[in-house]
């Protein structure tokens, strides 16, 4: 056992004395030491209840003969961080989570780990740590929030963001918005659509790092507690077999993840997080590969923000296991990949069935023939960019319009809410990438304002930043190279014509190469927005969005 390094032998008597100072017994110290990486806090709805999940996990570990030892992990609520400096810390916190978990796990010679995340950056940060440290590990999330109810209709966090735009457009009163605010998020859990948190929890299940049900069992369901106990028990089997993350997260597992991502119309942020996780286990993911997977994967589930269903519906329909079963029948899934059950993915989904075909459609009745995400290329994005095409209105799949250029998200929001953006415009928000932001902030406020004002079928938004998993419409993010690195998006001028062709996988500014070269010759990078502290260090170390925004 790895913990022998701190527990065995005469020379480790001082170490054991420190354990005994905390009340550990010789019997507990004779068992495998299992880290419980707990992201509970009182600032994220998806994490407010994680202490209950932790207690269930600890019970499982003890039942199976291990000694659970808990330590904490930070977490930022993307919704609360949205629209101010806090959002610049969100993506950057992913690296802090990975680094701190690595430090704790290796600093104390744990034999195994149970990771307990739930929301946006916490899930990938912990997966990165698991791949990097490579000790037996299992994940159990806190589960999704139930949808809210607003005057007989379902609602969620995105409904409230869009309500802000509706009030600005005179389509909703402030009193109505206040009522919506009180009902949209009814309790604990990760926000109820196929936004980033739930997408990543589903990806954890597909990668093989979480038990079946990890992605969809609601936070308030007793099955979630039972799942946590099973995860606590299962880590002991993983330790006994020495089955590690790098045995599980192989290239075929990432292919499976992107395939399911395409089938369920997941968040564009997976194009940041899955490559970053793969990087930690020595796998390089090329953006062209993502398009190749999307081209052959049907879009089977249409959840919020593009569709009408929520995660609870996907769970009722059979969950991720049912989606995997449909895709496996079509030969689109690598069934032989290992999982934390100790079995293969194909063995895990044996017998899984679709229980609601209105939620998980058959391949013959797919919402779209291609997957939910698309990578675009062109003279505006030589290194690529991403769009959630499943959330784009048909009339916006091809669009050409004048650039409305803003050097920050705040400037763009002011213009949108001020009625200065009109049908046909292409809103360009730049200097918000990994370096320029810094931290590549999400842009849910502008996309929601556009949708709430009824312009989502008429206006495109493009950025070197990123969009929330809750964004819908022609929202194209991750434009690489970013403006801060002198990418072409930095050279766009007010009124330039921009042509978007999502089916053709193209995005171009209709300006000659000679003119772009002339503009580039006179371009100078602006001063960094943050000149001290963590974000300043982050901006100097972070790489482009097309690499997953990993640190050098």
DSSP secondary structure letters along 58-112: HHHHHHTT-EEEEEE-----HHHHTTSTTHHHHHHHHHHHHHHHHHHHHHTT-SE
Burial zone of 136 (CB within 10 Å; 0-12 exposed, 13-18 middle, 19+ buried): buried
**Helices and strands of the chain, counted as H and E runs:** 22, 14
CB 317 within 8 A of CB 354: yes
Token pair recorded at residue 336: 């032989």
**How far, rounded to the nearest angstrom, does the alpha carbon of residue 301 sit from its chain's CA centroid?**
18
Token pair recorded at residue 215: 């992605």
Catalytic residue among 468, 471, 475, 544: 468
Token pair recorded at residue 165: 């735009």
DSSP state of 114: E
198 sits in which H/E element? helix 196-207
- Give the separation between CA 295 and CA 122, rounded to whole angstroms: 30
Cis peptide before 481 (omega within 30 of 0): yes
**How far, rounded to the nearest angstrom, does the alpha carbon of residue 59 sit from its chain's CA centroid?**
29
- Give the separation between CA 228 and CA 118, rounded to whole angstroms: 13
**Among this protein's residues, is 390 annotated catalytic?**
no
Please give the positions annotated as active site: 468
């Amino acid at each position: 056992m790895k913990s022998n390094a701190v527990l065995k032998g005469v020379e480790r008597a001082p170490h054991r004395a420190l354990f005994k100072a905390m009340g550990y017994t010789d019997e507990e110290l004779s068992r495998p030491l299992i880290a419980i990486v707990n992201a509970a806090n009182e600032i994220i709805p998806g994490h407010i209840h994680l202490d209950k999940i932790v207690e269930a996990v600890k019970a499982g570990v003890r039942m199976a003969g291990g000694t659970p030892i808990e330590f904490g992990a930070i977490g930022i609520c993307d919704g609360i961080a949205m629209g101010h400096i806090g959002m610049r810390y969100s993506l950057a916190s992913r690296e802090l989570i990975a680094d701190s978990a690595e430090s704790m796990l290796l600093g104390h010679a744990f034999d195994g780990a149970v990771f307990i995340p739930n929301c946006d950056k916490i899930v990938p940060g912990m997966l990165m740590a698991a791949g990097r440290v490579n000790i037996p590990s299992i994940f159990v999330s806190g589960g999704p929030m139930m949808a809210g109810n607003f005057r007989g209709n379902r609602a969620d966090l995105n409904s409230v963001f869009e309500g802000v735009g509706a009030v600005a457009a005179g389509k909703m009163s402030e009193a109505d918005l206040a009522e919506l605010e009180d009902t949209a998020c009814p309790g604990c859990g990760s926000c109820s659509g196929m936004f980033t948190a739930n997408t990543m929890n589903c990806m954890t299940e597909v990668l093989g790092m979480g038990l079946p049900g990890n992605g969809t069992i609601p936070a308030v369901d007793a099955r979630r507690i039972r799942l946590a106990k099973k995860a606590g028990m299962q880590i002991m089997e993983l330790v006994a077999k020495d089955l590690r993350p790098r045995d599980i997260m192989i290239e075929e597992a990432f292919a499976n993840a992107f395939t399911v991502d395409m089938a369920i119309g997941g968040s564009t942020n997976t194009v940041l997080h899955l490559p970053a996780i793969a990087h930690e286990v020595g796998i390089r993911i090329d953006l062209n590969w993502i398009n190749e997977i999307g081209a052959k994967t049907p879009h089977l589930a249409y959840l919020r923000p593009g569709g009408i269903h929520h995660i609870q519906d996907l769970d009722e329909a059979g969950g991720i296991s049912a989606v995997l079963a449909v895709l496996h029948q079509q030969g689109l899934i690598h069934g032989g990949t290992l999982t934390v059950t100790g079995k293969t993915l194909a063995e895990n989904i044996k017998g899984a069935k679709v229980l609601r075909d209105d939620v998980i459609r058959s391949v013959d009745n797919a919402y779209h023939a291609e997957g939910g995400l698309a990578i675009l290329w062109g003279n505006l994005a030589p290194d690529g960019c991403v769009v959630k095409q499943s959330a784009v209105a048909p009339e916006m799949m091809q669009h050409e319009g004048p650039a409305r250029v803003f050097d920050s998200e705040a400037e763009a929001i002011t213009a949108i809410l001020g009625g200065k953006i009109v049908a046909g415009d292409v809103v360009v928000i730049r200097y918000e990438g990994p370096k320029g932001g810094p931290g590549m902030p999400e842009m849910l406020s502008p996309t929601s304002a556009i949708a709430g004002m009824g312009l989502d079928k008429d206006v495109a938004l493009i950025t070197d930043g990123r969009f929330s998993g809750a964004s819908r419409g022609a929202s194209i993010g991750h434009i690489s190279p970013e403006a801060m690195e002198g990418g072409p998006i930095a050279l766009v001028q007010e009124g330039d014509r921009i042509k978007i062709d999502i089916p053709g996988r193209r995005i171009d500014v209709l300006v000659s190469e000679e003119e772009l070269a002339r503009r580039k010759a006179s371009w100078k990078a602006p001063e960094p927005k943050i000149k001290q502290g963590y974000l300043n260090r982050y901006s100097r170390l972070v790489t482009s969005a097309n690499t997953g925004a990993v640190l050098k």
